[in-house]
């Protein structure tokens, strides 16, 4: 049985502004850096030997900085992790950098289509959760029985569907907390 200790990256200014980041490389802000350090401490409290686990991280700067700060806060070698392109956030295509508020006004038909089937909706030039799942499934098959993952909200939603017992209809609407830890096992999940 696999156990993943999933950390979503800390806050960025675009998170605060409600902008779609996708695969844009937006750095953490001050709150995000504090959240990252706190995530390391929370992980150590929940899994005291977590330093011996492999860490797999999205190569975007916000996730790598989160991993460095989390590891540093618990006395681990800051760069002792592996990056994997497959852990990148889903891309929103030409919607990246825009807010949902603005998109709902400008692209009403597409916003309605997304709301009707958020799992399969394909943003213009972007990626659906269904496509992201196809990217994540082979990665997950390669994972050891237990690992720490630092990645993005979309990846967490896909993992909730693959591992955590959440349906495809429910997963895109799950709130994924920044800088907190989601423990995923086959058929269950819990925030710690």
169 neighbors 1 (Cβ within 8 angstroms): no
Residue 140 to residue 10: CA distance in whole angstroms:
23
Residue 30 to residue 45: CA distance in whole angstroms:
23
Active site residue 56: no
What angle separates helix 129-142 from helix 153-162, to the nearest 10 degrees?
Answer: 70
36: nearest Cα among 8, 16, 6: 8
List 9, 56, 152, 189, catalytic entry: 9
Residue 38 to residue 50: CA distance in whole angstroms:
14
List 11, 65, 89, 127, catalytic entry: 89
10 neighbors 31 (Cβ within 8 angstroms): yes
Beta bridge partners of 189: 184
Active site residue 9: yes
And the tokens for 191? 């925030």
Active-site positions?
A: 9, 89
């Amino acid at each position: 049985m696999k156990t993943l200790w999933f950390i979503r990256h800390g806050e960025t200014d675009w998170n605060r502004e409600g902008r779609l980041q996708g695969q844009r490389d937006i750095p953490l802000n001050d709150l995000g850096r504090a959240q990252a350090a706190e995530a390391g401490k929370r992980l150590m409290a929940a899994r005291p030997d977590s330093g011996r686990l492999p860490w797999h991280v999205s190569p975007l700067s916000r996730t790598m900085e989160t991993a460095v700060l989390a590891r540093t806060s618990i006395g681990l070698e800051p760069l002792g992790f592996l990056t994997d392109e497959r852990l990148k956030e889903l891309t929103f295509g030409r919607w990246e950098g825009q807010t949902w508020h603005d998109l709902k006004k400008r692209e009403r038909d597409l916003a309605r289509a997304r709301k009707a089937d958020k799992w399969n909706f394909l943003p213009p030039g972007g990626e659906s959760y269904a496509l992201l799942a196809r990217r994540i499934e082979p990665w997950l098959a390669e994972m050891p029985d237990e690992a720490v993952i630092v990645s993005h909200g979309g990846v967490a939603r896909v993992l909730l569907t693959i591992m955590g017992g959440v349906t495809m209809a429910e997963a895109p609407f799950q709130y994924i907390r920044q800088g907190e830890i989601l423990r995923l096992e086959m058929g269950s999940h819990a925030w710690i």
